[in-house]
Amino acid sequence: MKKILLDTNAYSDLLRGDQYIYEVVTSANEICISVIVIAELLAGFKGGSREKSNEDLLNKFLQQPTVNVLNISITTSYLFAEIKKSLKQRGKPIPINDLWIASQSVEFSASLVTRDKHFKEIDNLSLIFYQ
């Protein structure tokens, strides 16, 4: 079973018609999306010329039977702390929201689909990296 977690840029690229991301998404049995990613997307939509249509597309996407919205849990919080500590010790900090997303990827054993290189610094994180 192929389980993926979409990073914010992967969802955005999917909407833009990126063929590679489309193939990754359509080949997955389960598509996860973090509440953190949803918040980043909604914040990006606000004030834009296509705010309403982007929100409608997101809501339609979230209602698909293969899509699972991931919430923050106590387990996520413990993983967040461990990953942050490890990155800090190595002098490789990453943005806070990305720490949450990575923590959920580990917690739910989902491959993170992203083009953000800093995720490569995280041990035990399954990545589907693209450019």
Per-domain residue ranges of the chain? 3-129
| pLDDT confidence of residue 21 | 97
| Residue numbers in the chain where pLDDT is lower than 50 | none
| pLDDT confidence of residue 45 | 95
According to CATH, the superfamily of the domain at 3-129 is 5'-nuclease (3.40.50.1010)
Q: pLDDT tens digit string along 103-130? A: 999 999 999 999 999 999 999 999 999 9
Instruction: Tell me which amino acid residue 16 is.
Output: R
- Say how far apart CA 82 and CA 102 lie, in whole Å: 11
- Say how far apart CA 44 and CA 52 lie, in whole Å: 12
| pLDDT confidence of residue 47 | 85
| pLDDT confidence of residue 51 | 93
